[in-house]
Amino acid sequence: MNAYELSAKFPPRSTSEIVSWRGLLEFEKTVFVLVNLMDIVMTSLLLNTGQFVESNPIANFVLAEWGFPGVTAFKLIVVAMVMLIANIIATRRIRTSRLLLQFGTLIVGCVVAYSGVLMMIHLGWFAT
């Protein structure tokens, strides 16, 4: 039984149900973190042009109070919270945890793609 076949029975009732939690949802977690790091990079690039603003009102407040290091910390804290929630859910419902991470990756990926389009328009790659 590999981690993807794990039925998320916790605590295990027998030794046959004990599997290594190492590597559980490793791919989903890695992609989620990478996409969020790309969001931080794209946010930095767009804000440094001086022509764009942070559209998330909470992140915009953090930006006004603590600058870009604060926004970076805020975004990383949100990523850590989602990862913690996914780990807690994974102890009981592995499929739900996987779907949470995939959905989060999709949403942030759309934001990154939109940011990329905005940057390309800013750089004159597209006629407006």
The parent domain of residue 81 ranges over: 25-122
Whether residue 2 lies inside any domain: the answer is: no
Contact between 28 and 101 (Cβ < 8 Å): yes
- pTM value is 0.79
pLDDT digits (tens, 9 = 90+) for 88-126: 999 888 999 999 999 999 999 999 999 999 999 999 887
Q: pLDDT tens digit string along 46-68? A: 999 999 999 999 999 999 999 99
* Predicted pLDDT at 51: 92
How many domains, in total, are found in the chain? 1
Written as six digits, the tokens of 96 are: 């739900």
- Between CA 9 and CA 19, with CA 14 as vertex, the angle to 5 degrees is 60
Residue 5 belongs to a domain: no
Instruction: Judge contact between 24 and 94, C-beta under 8 A.
Output: yes
Residue 9: pLDDT over 70:
no
Q: Per the domain annotation, does 15 fall within a domain? A: no
Pull the structure tokens for residue 69: 């290091």
